[in-house]
Amino acid sequence: MSSTRPTLALLTRSLQNLRVSPVQALQCQDLSTAAPQSSQPQKLKSVGRALENYLRNARNYEKMLAKEKAEFELGKRYLANIMGWDATSITQDDVDKAIEYLFPSGLTDLKARPVMKPPEEILPKFHKFEFDREGKPMDPLFFTLKPKFYGLLSEVGRKTQHLVRHYDAQVSRGAVPESEPLSLAGSAWISDVDLGRRLGENISPEMYAQLVIALDYLASLPLAIEVKDFIFQYRQAVVAGSNQAVLFGPPIPEVQIDPASNRRMASVVTRAKAVKVEVTVRDAGTGKYTVDGHHYDVFRSVMARENLASPLIATNMFGRVDIEAKVLEGPYGLSIVPRAVRHGVSLGIAALFPDAVEPLRQLKMLTMEPRRKERSKVNQPGARAKWIWKRR
């Protein structure tokens, strides 16, 4: 057949292949007869292997995350089907409870138990850096490897410089600037852990120290009040008088009124090792002290009775309170119930008599004993003990 006039599509396609300027191409009259350009098609700028890998990883991560998200959503619908819920209104709380019910686990490490959460929370995070078309990083501080942190440090430096210049300018004019000093009372610099989380970078102690030095200097400058907002972004409030409420273990309980006898009482559930006890302390008492219904002289060991009576001795509450303790969870040995009951009694007395809180706290009776029995490991007789080691 005779050669037809080249269509526009063919023209553009050949242009793309040749990577020549369209103007040059249009100047050709007859492309069918036009010889292929002598110069090879211009290749893309060759990128470093590291960047190639990074780009590949980023793409894969995006794909994987999209897939996991879809699976998670599908999984939630399946779960709704199993549990008989409405598929449209499912909260993460519901999902957690359902998983705990369907996959009961006795594993001691809570992080090892089965979990169904959105993939962003569980899967390892992939930090995307921003690059332009040519592969140059957008962030000028990219090559510091911690761009956000050094950006912050630079910001602090810039502000410091600005304040110093401003002050010097005013002084040179003869007007000493009067401004109220910046009050940093009731707050502390953001902790290194929190800062790391906020910036999304791992901050070493040395780096953190440098930042604190810089911020301290900025805050100490006479015109620091001008940058108050910036400084307070990096201050955390320290709650005054929080020692009272913050206890490890159950807090000091609320005082209630016993409806039967109209006396003030405080009830608390505490633990020690594997034993859970419920202790009720009542005001206006006669010194009654029962454990599981038995008067506490059933404890033949002096140490047990010392433990049980120690809160009374510490606060001199002999005969003023009635104590009733009940063991909720066993099994238990001989000496552990008094320890748990003692903690409960201390909390009860602290609730009923606020003056007693200080002496009890100083004797460390208000804190729960956090220790638990350590797990025995394989190939060992116990948790830490090893078999007798023989050199040969």
Partner 1 sequence: MALLPKSSVKTLFSATKTLTAIRPYNKAASDDPSQLARADLGKLYHIPVDAAKNLNFNKILPSKYAKQLNTLDECAILCRPQFLEVLHCFQAVRPTFPGIRVVLWGRFGTGKTLTLAQAVHYAYTQNWVILNVRDVMDWTRVVKDVQMSTYRTGRIDLPEHSVNFLNHFKQQNQHLWKTILTDLKTTKDYVWTKTEKTPIDKPLTDIVDMGLASPFLANDCVGALCRELRLHASSGALKLLVAMDAGNSLYGRTVIRKADRTFATTDELSLVQQFRKFFRDDWTNGLVLTIADKREISDAHIDPFIPIETQLYTEAEAKALHDYYKDKQWLVTDEARSEAGLKQLYYLAAFNPHHFERLCAFN
Could you list the residues that contact partner 1 (CB under 8 A)?
A: 287, 289, 295-297, 299-300, 302, 305-306, 309, 312-313, 318
Distances from the Cα of 31 to the Cαs of 11, 20, 38, 375, in angstroms?
8, 14, 15, 82
Determine the Cα–Cα distance for residues 211 and 14; give it in Å rounded to an integer: 58
With respect to partner 1, which residue has the nearer C-beta, 63 or 295?
295
Determine the Cα–Cα distance for residues 231 and 160; give it in Å rounded to an integer: 11
Question: Smallest distance from the beta carbon of 280 to partner 1, in angstroms?
Answer: 18
With respect to partner 1, which residue has the nearer C-beta, 253 or 338?
338
With respect to partner 1, which residue has the nearer C-beta, 88 or 286?
286
Question: Smallest distance from the beta carbon of 341 to partner 1, in angstroms?
Answer: 13
Question: Smallest distance from the beta carbon of 356 to partner 1, in angstroms?
Answer: 16
Question: Smallest distance from the beta carbon of 185 to partner 1, in angstroms?
Answer: 44
Cβ neighbors of 161 (< 8 A, separation 6 or more) are none
Backbone angles phi, psi at 358, to 5 degrees: -65, -50
Question: Smallest distance from the beta carbon of 113 to partner 1, in angstroms?
Answer: 44
Both structure tokens of 204: 């070493």
The kind and range of the H/E element at 347 are helix 336-352
Residue 110 DSSP symbol: G
User: Do strands 294-295 and 264-272 pair parallel, antiparallel, or not at all (unpaired)?
Assistant: unpaired
Question: Smallest distance from the beta carbon of 323 to partner 1, in angstroms?
Answer: 11
With respect to partner 1, which residue has the nearer C-beta, 155 or 306?
306
Nearest to 367 by CA among 239, 293, 270: 270
Nearest to 282 by CA among 327, 316, 339, 320: 320
With respect to partner 1, which residue has the nearer C-beta, 195 or 349?
349
With respect to partner 1, which residue has the nearer C-beta, 137 or 359?
359
